[in-house]
Amino acid sequence: MDCMVTGGNVKVLATSIHSLSRIGEELYLEPQEDGLALRTVNSSRSAYACFLFGPLFFQRYSSSKSSTFRCKMAVKCAQAVFRSLSSLEKTVERCRIQLNSEKSRLTFTLHCKHGLLKTHNLSFQDCESLQAVFDKESCGNILRAQPRLLVDTVLHFPSSLEEVSVSVSGEQVCFRNHVEEKAEQGKAMLTELSLTAEEFEQFTVGCPACVTFCLKEMRGLLMFAESSGLPVSLYFDAPGRPVILSLTESVLEVNFVLATLSEDSHPCNDNRNKSTEGLQNAAPPDDFMNDDIDSYLIAMETSELAPGGHGCVPPPPQDANMGQLRARATSEGEEEQSEEEMGRAPNKKFCSLFFGSVLPTPSQVTNLTLRSQEVLASDSENEEEDATLL
């Protein structure tokens, strides 16, 4: 892999890494034919973020000869390469990223003004592909707005606030802070902001609903959106199903997939949002009632697909009502699908499941599938063990 970023795009790349650093601790880097993918997932696996920089984003782009190279590293290390976003524009003219396969280092070379050359050799770990499976197009609600609108909206909430609820009806969208415990509601300040449809570039509401998700990750995306000036699209439908925040440009696609609280833990169910209540109740019966802890979970699935196979795995029927984020681990050769019901990981709020990685050899397929079902995907230790098997 060898690519060169020039001019203002260096800052875009740098900002994307800073934005990812707000979500997860590891940066997954994968040079694909359709561009360079930078991804991360948060520690509770309730949020996934992906930046895909198309080949035209680069002055020169060549992915690996053998298309198998992919790696992960601490996002802090990558962030250190682009430490100061503000001075970057003035000092750095070009940035080259190449793989030094002899030394197993990923080399970032910054060509700065006055012929100054800064070289960072980052060590990395081999890893499986990290990819959440989601379908934006199937979401009933799509809101698109200039980043400024959302940045201004988020400003009204304290930075300590963890979760925000968004509800839409035909004409307006309403943001409010999510207060978990009933007992705390008497003590906490509730803030509510409503925006009319006119403020959005696109305002499609197929199913009025109210979803609750983490604000921190959204702030991460907004940081990037604000600096790039690209409109942000918000895709969501029922509570429990993921919210997808997305930016698209000709040479760049950004998707943040965030878990949402499921319906029974949802504040909008009680009294506040009468307009959407009826609709939510009309939804097909589900078994949320039975699993209150699971309400925070996102169903995950780990699957093995052959390199060419990009088909989405149809959701298992019993999960149909749960928000689903499915992950796909890809390696060449085998084709195997395993599905994991997410277990419950205690102590975590949106303890969801992502990507237990499975890299089976033919003989291991059965075993691994079983194993990954026992092991919750939230246990990343096991993930690494699995990876080292190869």
Residues that bind another protein (CB under 8 A): 146, 149, 155-156, 158, 185-196, 198-199
Closest approach, Cβ 370 to another protein, in A, equals: 48
Closest CB to another protein among residues 186, 278? 186
CB nearer to another protein: give 275 or 373.
Answer: 275
Instruction: Give, as one character, the DSSP assignment of residue 299.
Output: B
Angle made by CA atoms 271, 323, 263, in degrees to the nearest 5: 15
Can you tell me which residue has the tokens 């942000």?
232
Handedness of CA 74, 75, 76, 81 (dihedral sign): positive
CB neighbours of 320 closer than 8 A, spacing ≥ 6? none
**Shortest distance, CB of residue 259 to another protein, whole angstroms?**
26
**Shortest Å distance, C-beta 182 to another protein:** 8
Q: Are 33 and 63 in contact (CB under 8 A)?
A: yes
CB nearer to another protein: pick between 183 and 282:
183
CB of 221 to another protein, least distance (A): 20
Nearest distance from C-beta of residue 296 to another protein, angstroms: 23
Q: For residues 113 and 182, which CB has a smaller minimum distance to another protein in the complex?
A: 182
Of the two residues 131 and 273, which places its CB atom closer to another protein in the complex?
A: 273
Round to whole Å and give the CA distance between 270 and 254.
34
User: From CA 137, how far away is CA 153, in angstroms rounded?
Assistant: 25
**Nearest CB to another protein, comparing residues 25 and 277:** 277
Residue 7 Rama label (left phi>0; alpha psi -120 to 50; beta)? left
- Spacing of C-alpha 320 from chain mean position: 21
Q: Minimum distance between the CB of residue 197 and another protein, rounded to whole angstroms?
A: 8
Q: Which amino acid type is present at position 56?
A: L
Cβ–Cβ < 8 Å for 232, 150: yes
> Residue 229 Cβ, how far from another protein at the closest point, in Å?
15
Tokens of 344: 């419950």
Q: Which is nearer to another protein, 186 or 284 (CB)?
A: 186
Task: Give the residue with the Cβ less far from another protein, 175 or 288.
Answer: 175
Q: Rounded to whole angstroms, how far apart are CA atoms 107 and 89?
A: 20
How is 312-327 classified by DSSP, letter by letter? PPPPPGGGTTS-B-EE
Q: What's the CA angle centered on 14, arms 253 and 130, to 5 degrees?
A: 50
For 204-219, the DSSP string reads EESS-EEEEEEHHHHH
CB of 186 to another protein, least distance (A): 5
Distance CA 210, CA 277 (A): 9
Pairing mode, strands 300-305 and 329-330: parallel
* Nearest to another protein of 68, 194 (CB atom): 194
Q: How far is the CB of 172 from another protein (least distance, A)?
A: 9
